[in-house]
Amino acid sequence: MKRNFYIFLGLFVVGLLFGDYAKAIICQVCTLAVCAGLGLSRWLGVDDTISGVWIGGLVVSLIVWTVDWLNKKNIRFKGRKILIFLSYYLIILIPLYWGKIMGHPSNTFCGMDKLLFGILSGSIVIAVAAGWYVYLKKKNNNRAYFPFQKVVMPVGALLILSIIFYFLSK
């Protein structure tokens, strides 16, 4: 277990030292925080609804990054955003279903699989938080209201949703 921690820490430091500045709506630090939260929650045996929240946040982050990368490379084709959206969700959901991690009849919340419910909830919440950040920034002459607001808003929204689901699952 210590070995995995040191590998993760080393990759994190290398990413910080050599990473490029992100101009996407959802930054690299947010995505790293989402990945860390997801890995930690699965390792600790956290409820699938909460893990799903972080998976949903990660998927939306990857979608935004991919669209931004394609825009920078001037790669445009009809339906690319829908194709990217569907591709990422299928890449995530199909293995979870085939691996029997998702779809167990006794693992439901509000009549839906807990992991799927969490993924959908996390996706919506991080998209709304990122959009809210953009709105607030435009309202403030394209300046953030406080340092790291771009990170705090999406990750904070996922954290709040995780806390809500934690108390609902008890």
pLDDT, one tens digit per residue, over 38-83 is 667 667 878 889 889 989 998 998 898 899 999 999 999 999 999 9
Which residue in this structure is represented by tokens 């998702």? Answer: 102
Distance CA 112, CA 18 (A): 42
Do the Cβ atoms of 33 and 155 come closer than 8 Å? yes
The full set of domain ranges for the chain reads: 24-169
The pLDDT-based confidence of 153 (bands split at 50, 70, 90) is: very high
Using a pLDDT cut of 90, give the percent of the chain over it: 47
Do the Cβ atoms of 24 and 68 come closer than 8 Å? yes
Q: What is the pTM of this model?
A: 0.75
Which residue in this structure is represented by tokens 């691996």? Answer: 99
- Helices 114-139 and 80-98: angle between axes, nearest 10 degrees: 150
